[in-house]
Amino acid sequence: MSEPLILGIESSCDETGIGIVRGNDLLANEVASSMEQHIRFGGVVPEVASRAHLEAVVPVLEAAVAKADIDLSQVDGIAVTAGPGLMGALVVGLSAAKALAGWLNKPLYGVNHLAGHVAVDLLEHGDLPMPCGALLVSGGHTSLLSVTSIADGITEVGSTIDDAAGEAYDKVARLLGLPYPGGPVIDRAAAEGDPTAIHFPRGLTARHDMAKHRFDYSFSGLKTSVSRWVETEQQAGREVPINDVAASFQEAVADVLTAKAVDLCGHYGLKHFLIGGGVAANSRLRTLLAERMDDAGVELRRPRPGLCTDNGAMIAALGVQVVKAGLRPSAMDISADSGLPVTRVLV
């Protein structure tokens, strides 16, 4: 039996992504971003994002079909992000997927955006050994997962109790006077700074925190610590060393993210681990996690940076796994769920 050919639609935030995947082979991955429209607001504006999806979805679909060199009638199913994400943005993608599925008379699969960040690794490194651990780190989510099946076996072991890592990057960039989005600009600034210049706190790593939040994250206190340090320097009339602050902040984030990931693997006896989500493209995080996993004897899988950010390929890849697992298609009247938990892969 040939591998499933799945078209995936992603519209959970500010990227309109269409991906086409056959098995673990990526045929097309077209993305239109509305990031430039949000920069002047310092963050994603839901209404602006929704309108951008409306304008982009058809041209992006046409580009993906042309790139894959297929006819839409050939696809075996339509996978689409049903959540989590911005409600208005999700509705645009879900509506497009329903229209396509109805027109083509193909099954619809409303899937989980976060699980897509796990599945996308298969497009680069092939089938994932099970069980494995995963770290999903983005602007809205920071989670440690135990995975026994991508289609129906994802357990959230730990998560952030306040700010997500990507959110902390954006807020620290803003207080340093750096542009949005904060992740890439802080990564670049950190490359010119000293990560040991300032010791910022590592949230939820004290002994009393570990008893209750061993695998959880917290970045709100780190953000506040950076803010107070910068304020103190400014009040004293000293120039703020932006590169050193960026490097020290980034080191604190990468340190706690990787330490808890390694601890997860040791606790559960996991020998395979992957990282996904937009912040997974961060250079220091990728390097430190690789070093620590190697020391722990754990195989680390890291999708290339272009597959870490939101895209349709990850949704198509997840759709393939759902089809291969024999799960029933979604009903045509499913609704978007902005708070969909990662444990629910298929709606």
Whole-number Å distance between alpha carbons of 264 and 227: 30
Share of the chain above pLDDT 70, in %: 100
Would you list which residues are annotated within the binding site? 113, 117, 136-140, 170, 183, 187, 282, 310
Amino acid identity for residue 71 in this structure? D
Reported as a pLDDT band with limits 50, 70 and 90, residue 327 is: very high
CATH of 5-124+307-325, one of 3.30.420.40, 3.30.300.30, 1.10.490.20, 1.10.3720.10: 3.30.420.40
Tens-digit pLDDT profile for residues 164-209: 999 999 999 999 999 999 999 999 999 999 999 999 999 999 999 9
Would you list which residues are annotated within the binding site for substrate? 136-140, 170, 183, 187, 282
For the chain, strand residue ranges (E) read 5-10, 15-22, 25-33, 77-83, 108-112, 132-137, 142-149, 153-159, 272-276, 299-301
Predicted pLDDT at 1: 53
Reported as a pLDDT band with limits 50, 70 and 90, residue 117 is: very high
CATH of 132-302, one of 3.30.420.40, 3.40.50.300, 3.40.50.410, 2.60.120.10: 3.30.420.40
Nearest Cα to Cα of residue 281 among 244, 249, 250:
250
Predicted pLDDT at 40: 83
Nearest Cα to Cα of residue 217 among 195, 201, 232:
201
Question: Tokens representing 313?
Answer: 């390929």
131 preceded by cis ω (within 30°)?
yes
Q: What is the mean pLDDT of residues 224-242?
A: 97
Question: Tokens representing 210?
Answer: 């570990």
Q: What is the mean pLDDT of residues 260-284?
A: 97
Predicted pLDDT at 220: 95
Helix (H) or strand (E) holding 165: helix 165-175
SS3 291: helix
Is the separation of the CB atoms in 50 and 92 below 8 Å? Answer: yes
Nearest Cα to Cα of residue 321 among 156, 153, 157:
153
Q: What is the mean pLDDT of residues 6-12?
A: 98
Residue 346 has pLDDT above 90, yes or no: yes
- Cβ contacts of residue 184 below 8 Å, gap of 6+? none
Residue ranges, CATH 3.30.420.40, the chain: 5-124+307-325, 132-302
- Cβ contacts of residue 118 below 8 Å, gap of 6+? 128, 134, 136, 145, 147, 150, 154, 274, 276, 318
pTM, two decimal places: 0.95
Whole-number Å distance between alpha carbons of 48 and 181: 16
Would you list which residues are annotated within the binding site for Fe cation? 113, 117, 310
Q: Which of 27-41, 95-109, 322-336 has the lowest mean pLDDT?
A: 27-41
- Cβ contacts of residue 114 below 8 Å, gap of 6+? 84, 136, 141, 143, 342
Tens-digit pLDDT profile for residues 17-70: 999 999 999 999 999 999 889 888 888 998 999 999 999 999 999 999 999 999
Average per-residue pLDDT for the chain: 96
